[in-house]
Structure 1
Amino acid sequence: MTPKQLVFMDIDGTLVDEQQHISAFTKQTIRQFSDQARFYVATGRMYASAKIIADEIGAGIIASNGSIFDAGTRQIKTLGAAALKQIVTVLQQHPLNAFFFTDHQVFYTGALPSYFQHSDHNRIASPNPHDYIKVPSLPALLDHSAEIINGIIIAEDQVAELNAINQQFAAMPAAFVVSSSQPNNIELIPQHSGKASAIKAIQTATGIDRHHTFVFGDGDNDVDMFGVADYAVAMGNATPAVQVRAQYVTGTNEQDGIAHFLLAHLPAEKGSINHG
């Protein structure tokens, strides 16, 4: 049976719980609809990390906030030297942790937090210890400008610094896109990228339109997906600002919100969604 729907799911706060697990119920539900719908994870994580989760459910991959994705062939966009130079210039003025990613490597200059360290249980980044590369300085990142796909700046208790960085980025000529998955971070994405852009490319490649597309997310970096799918679903644990941008709100990630929404909206259609 040829799939007639597309389903895109953010990972953290959406598909997995705090322990990085997909529940047995959600896995079972995805398997139940595997002939009817084509499933993808759509995440800010690097490709290698996204693949660990995607492989559990046989899903396709949108990673690095849409900068790398599978649409027949793998598509990759990089930040580029001009964008990386702007980012490095600003970061030299603010002592915050920043991390930059290829499809499987993590470049960093400061301390490596526990949630980025290699671990089969953590899975936020790469499980391979050799994929973590400390560079001697921020300018040294420019030597890797041809490889770096995206980055993230994290400030656990330095919100004022984070806001100052955002303001500086906003005043610059646009060479990259700024997003956020949580209030404590700034995500740095190549121009003409984003989850929505990747989804549109996959819709074109599969011939499945927005009327048969489901997207699930909980963060600010998921909002652009809501504009390319008729079934735009915010998780119950999403902030009110995210929920108001969605067409639907489902249960939380801990309540199997994805599974319950699919069970409520897919079975009756038998491959044809009713828009009435």
Structure 2
Amino acid sequence: MLKNLVFMDIDDTLVNNHQEISTFTKNIINQNQTNTIFYVATGRMFISAKVIADEINANVVASNGGIFQKGSQLVSFHLGKQNLENIYHVLEEYSLSAFFFSSHQVFYNQSLPKYFKHSTNNRIASPNPNDYIKIDLPSLLQHSDEIINGIIIEDTNTDILDTAKEKLKDITDLNISSSFKNNIELIPEHVSKATAIKQIQKEYHVAPEHTFTFGDGENDIEMFNTSEYSVAMANANDLVKSHANFVTDSYLNDGVAKFLQKYLS
């Protein structure tokens, strides 16, 4: 009989700095497969998230809730043509780099950093080099019915992101958040990890009292409200911790597994 749902962010939560899930964590998850359905819940695109999920026989909530598995269904939402056009104008105004994701492709407006292209350590990794497509505005709009979410990244002048974020809030109907100080996450309005989790809870008839959520970023805060066992990682900032009911050890010290071992029954 199914008792629990567990949703785990990937980066800085489930995996270590080498993108590995520890043997201890795998064992704890494997021991509880009978009465628990496990999900990774991440900002990564679907194909990248599934690589990690398959290691632990987990399902996927990807693109911050923009695409997710629900029973035998794959549910997805899209940014939409008008939003994409408005986003592109902001990118040009502030000279920002952005990456837009379908379930398996990455569309980018400037250059694609080598560490993105060749690393399996991040959300835009794909095993197929042809999945990276440079776009201008017309070609971006041609893919509007495929694009689920996007991310703007600025590593040097992070202050400009605050200005760009406010502009985007004014001219789009998007759900806008940040998972780190160097980015802006772009997903469809009324879409989040939390909205996906609520649909999954309904599908499996599992209440918040039997739901676990683990995360370290501000894009995890909303999903904490879907579960009684909302758990921030020790490496999360104080704001994230303040929204969680529990704090566990860091992602480098098997924080997820230690908590599950103690509370999952």
Per the shorter chain, which TM-score range?
over 0.9
Which of 193, 210, 213 is the matching residue for 2:211? 213
Q: Answer yes or no: is the 8 Å Cα contact 2:68–2:74 preserved in 1.
A: yes
Secondary structure, counterpart of 1:111 in structure 2: coil
1:264 corresponding residue in structure 2? 262
The aligned residue for residue 94 of structure 2 is: 94
Which residue of structure 2 aligns with residue 271 of structure 1?
Answer: none
| Alpha-carbon contact 2:44-2:122 (below 8 Å) kept | no
Give, as a single letter, the amino acid of the residue that structure 2 aligns with 1:44: G
Q: CA deviation at 1:139?
A: 4.4
Aligned-partner residue type, residue 232 of structure 2:
A
Given residue 203 of structure 1, which amino acid in structure 2 is its aligned partner?
Q
Q: How far is the alpha carbon of 1:122 from its aligned partner? A: 3.0
Letter in structure 2 aligned against 1:217: G
Map residues 1-276 of structure 1 onto 2, 5 A cutoff: 2-72=1-71, 73-119=73-119, 121-122=120-121, 124=123, 125-135=125-135, 137-172=136-171, 174-267=172-265
User: Aligned partners of 1:92, 1:140: CA distance in 2, in Å?
Assistant: 15
Q: Name the SS of the counterpart of 2:93 in structure 1.
A: coil
Partner SS, residue 216 of structure 1: strand
Deviates more, 1:123-132 or 1:88-97: 123-132
- What SS does the aligned partner of 1:40 have? strand
C-alpha RMSD over aligned residues: 1.2
- For structure 1, the 5+ residue unaligned runs are 268-276
AA partner of residue 161 (structure 2): L
Q: Distance in 2 between matches of 1:85 and 1:206?
A: 38
Alpha-carbon separation, structure 2, partners of 1:148 and 1:36? 35
Preserved CA contact (<8 Å) 2:61 2:196 = yes
Distance 1:158 1:204 in 2: 42
What secondary structure sits across from 2:197 in the alignment? helix
TM-score normalised over the length of structure 1? 0.92
Distance (whole Å) between structure 2 residues aligned to residue 134 and residue 28 of structure 1: 41
**Mapped partners of 1:161, 1:62: distance in 2:** 30
> What amino acid does structure 2 have at the position aligned with 1:63?
A
Aligned residues: 263
Give CA-to-partner distance per residue, 1:24-52, whole Å, 9 cap, x none.
11011100111121100000000000000
Whole-angstrom distance in 1 between the partners of 2:114 and 2:256: 28
* 1-structure distance, mates of 2:57, 2:118: 23
Q: Secondary structure at the match of 1:164?
A: helix
Instruction: Tell me which amino acid in the other structure corresponds to 1:160.
Output: D
Q: Residue 79 of structure 1 aligns to which amino acid in structure 2? A: L
Shift in Å at residue 138 of structure 1? Answer: 3.7
The alignment's TM-score, normalised by the length of structure 2, stands at 0.96
Q: How far did 1:241 drift?
A: 0.8
Equivalent in the alignment of 1:274: none
Verify the 8 A CA contact 1:88 1:139 in the aligned structure 2.
Answer: no
Q: Quick one: distance in 2 between partners of 1:230 and 1:114?
A: 41
- Please give the alpha-carbon distance, in whole angstroms, between the structure 1 residues aligned to 2:15 and 2:51: 12
Which stretch shows the higher mean deviation, 148-157 or 106-115?
A: 106-115
Contact 1:7/1:39, CA 8 A, preserved across alignment: yes
Q: CA deviation at 1:118?
A: 3.8
Letter in 1 for 2:226: V
